[in-house]
Structure 1
Amino acid sequence: MRSQNVDRKSGMNMEIRKKKFLEMSSTARINAMRASSPTHIKSHPLALHHNVQQPSALDMFEQITNASKGKQIVMFMDYDGTLSPIVDDPDRAFMSDAMRATVRKLATCFPTAIVTGRCRDKVYSFVRLAELYYAGSHGMDIKGPSKNSKGGEAILFQPATQYLPIINEVYKALLVVTKDTPGATVENNKFCLSVHFRRVHENKWAELAKQVGSVLEAYPEFRLTQGRKVFEIRPTIKWDKGKALEFLLESLGYANCADVYPIYIGDDRTDEDAFKVLREMGQGSGILVSKIPKDTNASYLLQEPSEVMAFLRRLVDWKRLSLRKQFMLKSRLEGVKMSLPI
């Protein structure tokens, strides 16, 4: 009963937020869209890591690894803006070969998952690494390798399957109302939808927001949120990237475990749900990817995907060095035992 009440209250709050956005004036809408979608910045005080509360994850690398000693690191990463640069065309958000090679090495050292708002199949087509765990549609479509690190079968979890027919209906309606807005793109991410406006002229933003809102007024079972030049439409079920992180940890055998150290790296508002979970757990590290100051539940910062790659490479090198030291220590101990008289 309590769970039902929480879900009902959460759904009501989401609906109130959606209504507030739809009732905004055109000027207020544009200001909100600008605030969540900053333009490219060549230089910013954050580059020196002085004007924000969170320090650089690269500068604090030893602090992070010291906190993880004796624990199993599990890696979680967003895709767009984290492993690949933000681009105008979402269908061309390709990760570099260097980043792919880095993530492949990372997965040999730690269980590694990509948690994204994208369709799981789409992000897999970008990454092409079968050894990873993939949580698409903001964690509503989860699948792991055919054999996971614990020797079990592939994880497959889809908590919003009953919404598929309505999602397709909303998708078609959004295609109709946005077709005359140059640059607008509607992306079907299977269990959620995205309306991208990165290529839409700013004087059309308010009109586009109104068009999206007009469709969603007829679908109270969906919530509307905004990311980096994108509207996100999701079912109002109590599920998000934070829940996906918890589900994957449990599936890997680390539920309520003190010997695990999750690291989550992401750049979007939706990643805050995962950062918040880590704060509440009191374990692991949330790392925000951003060039500008933001309110965040993350503990550390990285500026862009190139810094993410540098951080991941340092993690791999640190893990391999740790394993080498352990092997050498074990060999010495065995040598000492063999030299002792019987």
Structure 2
Amino acid sequence: MVSFIEERPKNNAAGQNMVSDPKSAQKPPAPPGFISISRKKLLQNLEINAGARVNSWVDSMRASSPTHMKSAPSIADDQGSWNLNHPSALDMFGQIIDASKGKQIVMFLDYDGTLSPIVADPDRAFMSKKMRKTVRKLAKCFPTAIVSGRCRDKVYNFVKLAELYYAGSHGMDIKGPEKGSKSNKDAESVLFQPASEFLPMIDEVYKQLVETTKSTPGAKVENNKFCLSVHFRCVDEKVIKENSKSQIIKLCYHHLIKWSELAQQVKSVLKDYPKLRLTQGRKVLEIRPTIKWDKGKALEFLLESLGFANCTDVFPVYIGDDRTDEDAFKILRDRGQGFGILVSKFPKDTNASYSLQEPDEVMDFLRRLVEWKELSLRAQSRM
């Protein structure tokens, strides 16, 4: 039997956490909230769907976590309905602008998968020069923050724009624009670190994970200061393209097993650290302190820091691609202010209102926002 451990998100966010164990037939039944699927049944399901959906799987394996290899085909049948409920932010740009009239737009942007493509090596997730130029122009028009699961300093080194707000480690490390930056000379630097007491524990677990995951090829542990990320490189696209459907099925199964083994290694380390919790994102396992803080809380903190805590004339826009961004999408939906935009090529359960398919579309959307703002300012100057 192959067990898939599913951590059911409270907000029905996209995807499922799956952990498999080839020897689970000899182990006690899975606890409540866990599901088990036999290897035979899994392979049959893969074979049934292979003929019509291999291309979807290839795209999914490029862009999302291994769990989506299971979920994407079934949800894809309802693509039209999903697009109706989460239309393209580019197609609905006029409607979005109409909703923001008379309000201050504030931009919140995830980094990986939003401003840069998802890549096998997390240290090479560079944003393009065109994207950096676009984000720089955006920050001149609207208050802009990067909200990422990565270490704040690492995100800053990728983006290299001093005029932005940066919220690293899923919002547990927040800092405002650097004093003396051209566009924010008088801005005070915001610094908030609600999980400082966990730093020694995070460092200790990091060292253990580096040692424990050495046996898994493609695994990489990233220290994001207030949280940890365990990355797992997906099956190489060239290998997928050059293999037959039956070989792809075997690769998919092998990939799930390897992902499972890595997750079990991580869980074996974390069992001695109850103050840390494990979640899953796109191609990554995340370890964070169990404090009540996430990207949604970071969004609220930044709005308050900007003076928009209880304002009705603010219009926050959050763009992200990951399950962790759902916390921010939900905050905006609950506040009834602004909206979230999910970056995804595939239907997912989400609290976002609109969608974009990839970073290039994100750049197009940001460019249109900048152009609209510049035209508005020129029109006002003529009056």
Matched, 1:268 2:322: yes
Aligned to 1:179: 214
Equivalent of residue 311 in structure 1, options 354, 365, 376 = 365
Identity %: 70
Matched, 1:189 2:253: no
Shift of 1:199: 4.2
Aligned to 2:291: 237
Aligned to 2:375: 321
Maintained 8 Å contact 1:77/1:113: yes
Instruction: Output the CA distance in 2 between the equivalents of 1:281 and 1:150.
Output: 31
Stretches of structure 2 that go unaligned for 5 or more consecutive residues are 1-8, 11-15, 25-34, 43-63, 236-253
Maintained 8 Å contact 1:37/1:228: no
Alignment of 1:215-294 (within 5 A): 215-294=269-348
Aligned to 2:134: 102
Q: How has the CA–CA distance of structure 1 residues 221 and 29 changed in structure 2, closer, same or farther, with 3 Å as cutoff?
A: farther
TM score, norm. by length of structure 1? 0.84
Q: How has the CA–CA distance of structure 1 residues 299 and 135 changed in structure 2, closer, same or farther, with 3 Å as cutoff?
A: same
Deviation larger for 194-203 or 222-231: 194-203
TM score, norm. by length of structure 2? 0.75
Instruction: Output the CA distance in 1 between the equivalents of 2:17 and 2:93.
Output: 40
Shift of 1:198: 2.2
Instruction: Output the CA distance in 1 between the equivalents of 2:127 and 2:322.
Output: 17
CA RMSD in angstroms comes to: 2.9
Q: How has the CA–CA distance of structure 1 residues 123 and 49 changed in structure 2, closer, same or farther, with 3 Å as cutoff?
A: farther
Instruction: Output the CA distance in 1 between the equivalents of 2:264 and 2:315.
Output: 43
Instruction: Output the CA distance in 2 between the equivalents of 1:62 and 1:21.
Output: 37
Instruction: Output the CA distance in 1 between the equivalents of 2:155 and 2:85.
Output: 32
Aligned to 1:211: 265
**Total equivalences in the alignment:** 310
Aligned to 1:136: 168
Aligned partner of residue 316 in structure 2, secondary structure: strand
Instruction: Output the CA distance in 2 between the equivalents of 1:316 and 1:38.
Output: 39
Equivalent of residue 84 in structure 1, options 91, 112, 116 = 116
Aligned to 1:55: 87
Stretches of structure 1 that go unaligned for 5 or more consecutive residues are 1-12, 15-19, 330-342
Aligned partner of residue 279 in structure 2, secondary structure: strand
Shift of 1:40: 11
Instruction: Output the CA distance in 1 between the equivalents of 2:69 and 2:333.
Output: 25
Shift of 1:146: 2.6
Maintained 8 Å contact 1:36/1:229: no
Letter in 2 for 1:250: E
Aligned to 1:69: 101
Following TM superposition, the consecutive aligned residue runs of length 4 or more in structure 1 with deviations greater than 4 angstroms are 20-33, 36-41, 44-52
